[in-house]
Structure 1
Amino acid sequence: MQKIKTALLSYGMSGKVFHAPFLDIHPGFELLGSWERSKKLIQEDYPEVKSYPSLEDLLADDVDLVIVNTPVGTHYEYAKKVVLSGKHAVVEKAFTTTVAEAQELNKIAKEKGVKLAVFQNRRWDSDFKTVQKVIEDGVLGDLVEAEFHFDRYNPLLSPKAHKETANDGAGILKDLGPHLIDQAVCLFGSPKSVFGDIRITRENSLVDDWIDLQLIYENFRVRLKAGFFVREANPAFTVQGKKGSFLKPRGDVQEDKLKEGEKPNLESWGTESEDLQGLLHTEIDGKTIREKIPTLQGNYFSFFDGVFNSITNDVAEPVTAEDGVKVMQVIEAAIASNTQRKVIDL
C-alpha cells in the first residue's frame, strides 16, 4: 500500500491528541513530522519523524498531506500556502474566519486538483452518531425542534493567549460553535435564516464565551447553545418530533482517553458507559415505548479513513470544504444577527 506522507503544522494539544495517534495507526498514512516553533516535542513521541523549523521547510519536503492545526486566525494564510503548493490539506475548525476566505480556499483547491477537508471530528462522536441514527430511523415522526448543547463549567480564562485576546479567530462561537453548527447542518442541511445571541459572561474576558443560536428551517427549529457556566449539564442533544422525544447526554470518551495517552484501537475504542445511554420516548407501531437506547461506538479513525479514501480513490472528502463554507455562513449570519438584533436570512 502506498502511504500518504503527512505533516502537521503544530504539535500542541490538537496534534498530539487528535491527529498523530490516528495517523500513526492508520496503515495508509506515514507521519513525516511537524512544524515546531519553540518547543520540540514530536520526536519524544515519534522518534523517527522530523521537526521542521519553518513552514517553507515542511512544504519543500516530500509531503502529500498537511494538517493545518494552528490557531483559527492563521488557517486561511497557511491553508492557502499548502494548497497552492499542490498538497492536500485538512484544516481544523473553525475552517476560516470569514465566508470569503472559506470560498477562496475551496476554489483554489479545486483549481489545483487537491483535496481539502475540514476536521469536524465530532461527527464521529458516539453520542452524535446515536442521535443521527435515531433521526434516520424515523421513530420520532416529523421533527418539530432540536436543541444541541456544548456545556462546560470553567470560569477561568485560557492560558493560551490566542484564545483570549480579541482577534478574528477567538471566542466560543468559532471554538465550540463550529462543532454544533456542523452537526446541525450535517443532519438538517443549511437553515433558511439565523438568529444569534452572543455574550461575554466571564470576568475580564475579552472574547465571546456564551452563544445561543436559533437555526430557522421551513418546518422546524434548531437551537444551539454553548457556555462556560453550566455545572449541571443539560442533555447534549434533545430532539422533539410529532411522535416522540430523544434525549442524549454528552458521553463520548475519545477526547478524554486520548488526553490520558491511551492509543486508539478499532475494537472497543469510543465505547461509552451504559449509564449515559439516551432516552427514547415515542410511539412505534401503535405502542408507546420509553426506554434507553444503546449508544453507537464513536471513532475518529473514520474521519482519517475518509481522507485516505478521498485522496487514493478521488472521491469526496469526509467533511468537504463546501461543508466548511456552510458553517462559516451560519457563523457570519449569527454575528450579523447579534449586532443588528434581528433574524438574518442566508
Structure 2
Amino acid sequence: MPTTPDPTPAPLPPAPAEPVRAALIGRGAGGTVFHAPLLRALPEFQLLAVAGSAETPAVLADPTVELVVISTPTETHAALAAAALEAGKHVVIDKPMAVDVADADRLIALAAERGRLLTVFQNRRWDGDFLTVRRLLGEGAVGRPALFEACWDRFRPTIKPGWRERPAPGTGLLFDLGSHLLDQALVLFGVPEWIEADVAAQRPEAAVDDWFDLRLGYGPLRVRLSASTLVADPRPRFALHGSGGSFVKHGLDPQEERLRAGLDPRSPGFGNDPVAGTLTLADGRREAIATEPGCYLDFYRGVAAAIRAGAPPPVDPAGPRAGLRLIDLARRSAREGRRLPA
C-alpha cells in the first residue's frame, strides 16, 4: 500500500552566517602560531590580511575589514585597539589588554561608545586542565576549597631573544604568564580580598622579572600563583586542596605545542591531554581524573557569535582589566614588602 507523503517538509537548516572578515596585526609568534591558524580553521571567519604594525593604517582604512586582531608587543595594544575601535572595527587583543588600568578603562569605554566588540585572547581559559579544575570545583569534588595553587615553570637559563625580556612597559614574566594565572584565579574565585607578592629577576643577565610568587586571600581560602624560568623539574600545574580531598595535575595543556608543530586545530584529538590528574579523597582513595579536552577554537567561535548574533563576548574585558589591577598591586606589594587590600 503506498504511503502518503508528509505534507509538511522538514525545515531547511539555517543559512550559514556570513563569515566575519578579519585582519590580523602582528607577524610574531602570537599571530602566526595562535591567531592565524585558529581563524583559518573556522568557517565563521575569512582572514583577509596578516599585517605588520606599519601596515595598520591600510588595514583600518579597509571598509571590508570588520574585525581587527592585535598580536603585537604589549605597550602597543592600547593605541592600536583604540585606533581600530575609532575606525568602527570589532577588536580582539592579545593578553594583557594594556599596560595599565587607565588604558583598559579607556578601551572599554570607547568600545561601548562605538558599539563594537572588545574582547581579550585569554586562551588559557580553554586549556583542558583548567576546564577540569573548573568542573571539579563546580562538582564539589574536594569539598570546601582551602588552597589552590597554579604554577607555570620553565627551564630557560639563557635569556630568550624578543621584546618580552627587554625593559619596556608590559614586559616581564608577571605581565606574560601572570596575566594567564591571575585570569584563571579570577574566573574560579573572583576578586580577592588581599594580595601579597614577591617578584624578582633571578637570572644574572635578566633585565626584567623572570620569577614571581603571588598569594591571594579569599576569606579562609588561599590562592598561590607562581612562575619561574629556572625550574627543570616542574611543580604541579594545578593543585586544589579542600575539606574533602585533593586534586593534583602535572604538565601543560598540549594545544600550544601542537600549534607550534603546525597541526591543524580541527584535527581529531587536537585538544586531548593524555596526562590525567589525581583525585585523593579524605579516606585515602585515589582516582585518576581524565583531563577535559581543551579547545582554543571555542574562543573564536564565541567571537563570531558575539559579532553575528549579539552573544556576550567570550572574554568580558572587565576580567582582564581586573587582572591588570592585580598586577599593579602585586608590583607595589613586592616593592613595599607588604600585603595590600585588593
Shared fold (TM-score, shorter chain, > 0.5): yes
Partner of 1:45: none
Contact 1:243 1:282 in 2 (8 A): yes
Residue of structure 2 in register with 1:329 after alignment: 325
Question: Match of 2:279, as an amino acid?
Answer: L
In structure 1, the partner of 2:70 is 68
Q: For the aligned residues, what is the CA RMSD?
A: 1.2
Taking only the aligned residue pairs, the percentage that are identical comes to: 37
Aligned-partner SS, 1:54: helix
Question: 1 CA distance for matches of 2:289 and 2:90?
Answer: 39
Query: What are the Cα deviations for residues 201-235 of structure 1, in whole angstroms up to 9, with x where unaligned?
Result: 01111100000001111220100000101100110
The answer to whether the aligner puts 1:184 opposite 2:200 as a matched pair is no
Letter of the structure 2 residue corresponding to residue 328 of structure 1? L
- C-alpha contact 2:215 2:223 (8 A) present in aligned 1: yes
The separation in 2 between residues aligned to 1:230 and 1:344, in whole angstroms, is 28
Question: Is this contact kept in 2: 1:126–1:251, CA < 8 A?
Answer: no
Q: Which amino acid aligns with 1:312?
A: R
SS in structure 2 of the partner of residue 30 of structure 1: strand
Measured against aligned partners, the alpha-carbon deviations of 1:52-106 in whole angstroms (never above 9, x if no partner) come to x521100011211111100011111111111111111111011111011111111
Among candidates 59, 78, 81, match of residue 80 of structure 2:
78
Structure 1 residue runs of 5 or longer lacking an equivalent are: 38-52
Counterpart for residue 169 of structure 1: 170
- Matched residue, 1:127: 129
* Superposition pairs of residues 1-346 of structure 1, within 5 angstroms: 1-36=17-52, 54-61=55-62, 62-160=64-162, 162-265=163-266, 267-273=268-274, 276-283=275-282, 289-346=285-342
- Give me the whole-angstrom Cα distance separating, in 1, the residues matched to 2:181 and 2:165: 21
Kept in 1: contact 2:61–2:87 (CA 8 A): no
C-alpha distance in structure 2 between counterparts of 1:134 and 1:164, whole Å: 36
CA contact (8 A) 1:281 1:288 kept: yes
User: Could you tell me how far 1:267 is from its partner in structure 2?
Assistant: 3.6
Instruction: Give the C-alpha shift of residue 265 in structure 1.
Output: 1.2
Consecutive unaligned residues of structure 2, counting only runs of 5 or more, are: 1-16
* TM-score when normalising by structure 2: 0.92
Q: Measure the CA separation in 1 of the matches of 2:191 and 2:319.
A: 9
Amino acid at match of 2:338: K
Aligned length: 325
> Equivalents in 2 of 1:76, 1:220: separation in Å?
34
Segments ≥4 residues shifted beyond 6 Å? none
Deviations 1:108-155 (A, max 9, x none): 101110010010101111111111111111011111011100100001
User: What's the secondary structure of 1:246's corresponding residue?
Assistant: strand
Paired position in structure 2 for 1:44: none
